[in-house]
Amino acid sequence: MEISLQDMSLIRRQAFIDGCWVDADDKSTLEVVNPSSGDRIALVPNCGAAETIRMIDAAQRAQKSWVNQSAKQRSTFLKKWHELIMQNQEDLACLLTAEQGKPMAEARGEILYGANYVEWFSEEAKRVYGDVIPSPSDDKRILVSKQPVGVVACITPWNFPNAMLTRKIAPALAAGCAVVCKPANETPLSALALAVLAEHAGAPPGLINILVGKTEEIGRELTSNSKVRKLSFTGSTRVGKKLIADCAGTVKRTSMELGGNAPFIVFDDADIDAAVKGAVASKYRNAGQTCVCANRLLVQTGVFTEFTVKLKQAVLNLKVGDGFEEGVAVGPLIHSQAASKVCGIIDDAKERGAKVVHGGGMSPLGGSFVAPTILTEVTRDMRLFSEEIFGPV
């Protein structure tokens, strides 16, 4: 599958380390696949520990000069980066849909959402204030002066490959920190395009470094290398727990945004039309592949039937298909393994007595498309009740 952009230079198929575009040391590669068609859209370097060490060293060198930049200089760079992201919004959205699968309307929204973080922190860069604390003695003053923590590692997921990266990079740069980034292997092109634009905005070599590849090797180096002083991770609870434990050896600061299993509650006095609209927006956005979406709908008895009928009708109106097609509201899951997992959760619920109101398995489109599904009579012993679904169920 060929991706067509207005600016084809945004498609990069190499790692970005110390201001240079490089292949993996062993020349090995990873496939980037379009989730809708299953077609290969790119080969990217399959990097490992050696490349990770080099990017950490590059970031540490860049850190020494970046920390001496004034708040205004850091702000100016972030503003320029934001401008370039917005100028290339359509191309970035096309890249996102090609490698992640979400509908173009959602992809455009994500680019704007991600750019907003860069714009916000371009202003916050000028507002890193200190503090004065009352002293316990009359011959001392206690002043708090905030300093950059050092090199920051950013590990991001495939469900929001643009916004999850900008929301980590922008505050780090605003605070005076260089970054080393490991985006998901499934969706590296969005991250690499951001690096292209950062380079155009004037990022010095080593300030922003991005690679994908051998996940365990890269993760071990990011958590064990003492030059990395903070790690920010968005992903599963299981992996987050391991990263926290591994970071303890070098006493790194950590920021974790992990999985969720949120309920959506509808009481008898609710505006049912508004509740249905909210439930659809929460559950079926990004084909349910968000950590903050509603997994369980808890509906009070008095409005259960009305809510269920209206929800089914709303879901019937959702068009499933390739994210590039006009009017598509629900795209594919990221890959066939994800679809199999979600269908396994559905099958477990059906075997334990859940009633299928709509959907209930794979979409007729096949591949990694799962039909938007509604199940009732769900009980606590079902996987559906306690597990994060990460699908349109």
Residues 39 and 85 in one domain: yes
| Residue 3, domain member (yes or no) | no
Q: What is the pTM of this model?
A: 0.95
- Whether 162 is covered by a domain: the verdict is yes
Q: What per-residue confidence (pLDDT) applies to 1?
A: 75
- In whole angstroms, give the CA distance from residue 275 to residue 391: 20
Same domain, 138 and 208: yes
pLDDT of residue 244: 98
- 62 phi, psi to nearest 5 deg: -65, -35
- Is the CA virtual torsion 291, 191, 233, 35 positive or negative? positive
Burial of 326 (0-12, 13-18, 19+ CB in 10 A): exposed
Query: Between β-strands 151-155 and 29-33, what pairing exists: parallel, antiparallel or unpaired?
Result: unpaired
Does the residue 392 lie in any domain? no
Length of the chain: 393
Backbone phi, psi, residue 51, to 5° = -65, -35
Given 219, 241, 257, the domain boundary residue is: 257
Is residue 227 within 8 Å of residue 197, measured between CB atoms? no
Tokens of 291: 């950590």
In a domain, 2, yes or no: no
Does 273 share its domain with 218? no
How far, in Å, CA of 117 to CA of 82, rounded?
A: 9
With CA atoms as reference, report the closest residue to 179 among 58, 92, 89, 71: 58
Residue 370 in any domain: the answer is yes
376: three-class secondary structure by DSSP: strand
Would you state the pLDDT for residue 158? 98
What is the tally of structural domains in the chain? Answer: 2
Report the DSSP beta bridge partners of residue 7: none
**What stretches of the chain show up as alpha helix (H) in DSSP?**
49-66, 71-87, 89-100, 104-124, 163-175, 188-200, 215-224, 237-247, 272-284, 301-316, 336-351, 383-386
Ranges of the chain with pLDDT below 50: none
In a domain, 368, yes or no: yes
Co-location of 230 and 314 in the same domain: no
- Contacting residues for 330 by C-beta, under 8 A, at least 6 apart: 103, 284, 287, 318, 319, 320, 321, 372, 392
Identify whether 391 is part of a domain.
no
CATH of the domain at 299: 3.40.309.10
Cα separation, 349 vs 360, whole angstroms? 10
Full domain range(s) for residue 176: 8-257
Q: Is residue 49 located within the same domain as residue 162?
A: yes
Q: Are residues 167 and 180 in the same domain?
A: yes
Query: Nearest CA to 388 among 304, 263, 273, 269?
Result: 263
Among positive and negative, which fits the CA dihedral 326, 327, 328, 329? positive
Please indicate, yes or no, whether residues 240 and 295 belong to a single structural domain of this protein. Answer: no
| Residue 375 φ then ψ, to 5° | -125, 140
- The residue to which tokens 């490992």 are assigned: 48
If asked whether residues 350 and 285 sit together in one domain, one would say yes
Marked catalytic residue, from 90, 124, 257, 306: 257
Residues 57 and 121 sit within 8 Å (Cβ to Cβ): no
* Domain identity same for 201 and 286: no
**47, 177, 247, 291: which one is catalytic?**
291
Same domain, 19 and 56: yes
In a domain, 58, yes or no: yes
Do 246 and 297 reside in the same domain of the chain?
no
Nearest CA to 171 out of 48, 83, 102, 78 is that of: 78
Domain closes at, from 226, 257, 288? 257
Q: Is 123 a catalytic residue?
A: no
* CATH number of the domain enclosing 75: 3.40.605.10
Strand (E) or helix (H) holding 208: strand 208-210
Q: Are residues 273 and 191 in the same domain?
A: no
Place of tokens 């009305």: 306
Distance CA 82, CA 92 (A): 13
291 assigned to active site: yes
Of 207, 227, 257, at which residue does a domain stop? Answer: 257
| Separation CA 28–CA 12 (nearest Å) | 16
